[in-house]
Structure 1
Amino acid sequence: MTGKYSISSVKYGKQGRNKRTVWAINPKPFKEAHFAVYPEELCETPIKAGCPEFVCVECKKPREVIFEPSEEYKKLLRNQGKGWSSERRKEAIKIGNALAEGTRHDITADYRRAGYTDCGCNVGFTGGSVLDMFFGSGTTGIVALKQNKKFIGIELSQEYIEIAKKRLKPFLEQTKLK
């Protein structure tokens, strides 16, 4: 998997804004009693960002993705500092420029997924766990299951608990078949 990271490569949503700052997601109608069912899309990104993909079964340490720069990007990084004598650097600072004219490169960081960290327990990994303290109709649980993660849902209303059980049942049965 290839990832490119730079300010200029940030993907903007339909509203022309950075996805990290503005989300335009409307609630979806739900035939059951819950009045504020949010769409699955609303919790997909936070779960991906905040819950580890894999966790050690024994020590519970999350596995982290290891990214390495592509060969082309490594070459650019190695060549970045070349050609800057201390005199030239002092002159650039005097003028007030961080870079001298003609030496600036528009660099897009190019990293590739190289693998995962390993805790050393050698007992296997499972999906991370998501906690939803206001579980409602169970949308967070459904998204967690779709991402091969576990969930803990807390809900005070027995009515909403029944709705969530009904919604989650097909997904829970599917995970048993895997």
Structure 2
Amino acid sequence: MSELHLDPNASRLTIHTRAVGMLARLAHDLEITASELRGRARLDGESWTAELEVPVAKLSVAGVLRGDRVDPDALSAGDRGDIERRLRGEVLAGTEIVAVRASGAARDRAEVRVQVASGSASLVARLSSRDRGDGAIGVTGTCQLSMAALGVREVKGPLGAFKVRDELDVLFDLTLRPAS
């Protein structure tokens, strides 16, 4: 059995939100990034377990999504700040750390549990892993996370003109290095 630690400088986690509803064109699809990640994994042959912590205070709006491209300049500093305050104070109220626990019998699939203050959700993620040299392992993947399953209230615009789609797209590219 070997233990690996997440290299936060070589790892990335992003969340894509999409607006839906009658006036969704007036809303913004967003990319939210986690500027700080902590984690570790334990390997036992092809089987593995992993833990990841995402501090809510380190989630920030990277920009507006235009298709799959991020426009970092589309929001004013005030709008960006308002969205981040709402994310921390309303959407993830009471949550300091988003805790993720995952495991798998092979390196191409993960059974995942995500925990926030309002609840927890289970999901399956497809993975791709590769050797990055010096014993480091890269793990990339995407999954969809339901806000309703986490017990998060629906996020709506004024007068319900639009809302954020329940399924968030989570994209990750993580680097794990052998424990020293």
TM-score of the pair, normalised by structure 1 = 0.23
Larger fraction in helix: 1
TM-score of the pair, normalised by structure 2 = 0.22
Higher radius of gyration, 1 or 2 = 1
